[in-house]
Amino acid sequence: MCDDLRLFTDEETDMPYVIPGRFNEKVAFVTGAGSGIGRATAIRLATEGAELFVHDVNADSLAETVSVITANGGTAVSRVGDVSERAECFAAIAEAIEAFGRLDVLANVAGIAGAFHFTEMTETQYRRMVAINMDAPFFFCQAAIPHLLASDGNIVNIASNAGLMGQAYTTAYCMTKGAVVQLTRSLAMEYAKTKIRVNAIAPGGIVTNLTHNFQIPADIDFELMAPYLGYRGQGEADDIAELIALVAAPESTNIHGAIFSSDRGVTAG
């Protein structure tokens, strides 16, 4: 990171590289905003001036996100819901439009993960992962794009290094994240003649509840996991929030159809 950007550090929020006012008069919708990357993103965008519509299935943790934002003078409207239901995706976007009258940024962050022996993942586990990680971003994009076209807004989808490489024991997760990569690229092409932008970020391991609670069968061959664990440990949720803010910022007009890796080199080799 360029040292000059330290000029923008906001001492009061203890959040590095804040660019005050970058999202003034913008409305951002963040899914998965109750925890981890989604919470960090919502707080960062609010700190940089956006009004927030935050969404999560966990009411308590979502309320905590809202109180952090409002305690710092920001605006956040929240909705509790399950993104695995198509109707919820459309209803949530409609509520955001009712609340703010516009939408400038959609950040599709909500997701789940888990490791399984391929033959042992149940149909219920598989369908839930597909519904949350793949179907929800698709339906949120469908619901949001008419409003983003009106504001020349943009979408940031959270994929994963798992969407860019094969990984033992996480086949379904890799499939859903690969689909998010292709959702991003395909929408970038379909809307190439408009001003909306569609991008994705592919994080490597980040310290969040998702990684903390990650379930791994006891009898797996750990050597097979080594290629996707990397050599530099895990990043922080704000590493990704900062990148989401950069990609979603109004001045980032040259960034469209991109898949940004932020994985400490995991997908480099």
Ligand X SMILES: NC(=O)c1ccc[n+]([C@@H]2O[C@H](COP(=O)([O-])OP(=O)(O)OC[C@H]3O[C@@H](n4cnc5c(N)ncnc54)[C@H](O)[C@@H]3O)[C@@H](O)[C@H]2O)c1
* Interacting residues with ligand X (CB under 6 A): 32, 34-38, 56-58, 61, 82-84, 109-113, 132, 158, 160, 203, 205-206, 208-211, 237
Query: What torsion do the CA atoms of 267, 155, 157, 139 make, to the nearest 10 degrees?
Result: -150
Indicate the residue among 61 and 151 with the shorter CB distance to ligand X.
61
Rounded to the nearest whole angstrom, what is the least distance from the CB of residue 125 to ligand X in the complex?
13
In the residue annotation, 173 being an active-site residue is answered as: yes
Question: Residues 242, 194, 183, 55: what is their CA dihedral angle, to the nearest 10 degrees?
Answer: 50
CA distance 2 to 16: 12
Question: By C-alpha distance, which of 83, 77, 75, 34 is closest to 53?
Answer: 77
The DSSP symbol for 10 reads: B
Q: Is the Cβ of residue 174 or residue 196 nearer to ligand X in the bound state?
A: 174
Of 35 and 154, nearer to ligand X (C-beta) is: 35
Q: Rounded to an integer, what distance in angstroms lies between the CA atom of residue 228 and that of residue 225?
A: 6
Closest separation in Å from C-beta 161 to ligand X: 6
Of residues 102 and 112, the one with the C-beta less far from ligand X: 112
CB of 38 to ligand X, least distance (A): 5
Catalytic residue among 173, 191, 228, 231: 173
Q: Write down the least CB distance from residue 4 to ligand X, Å.
A: 29
Q: Is 101 exposed, middle or buried (0-12, 13-18, 19+ CB in 10 A)?
A: exposed
- Please name the amino acid found at residue 34: G
* DSSP codes joined into one string, 75-95: -EEEEE--TTSHHHHHHHHHH
User: Would you please indicate which residues are annotated as catalytic (active-site) residues?
Assistant: 173
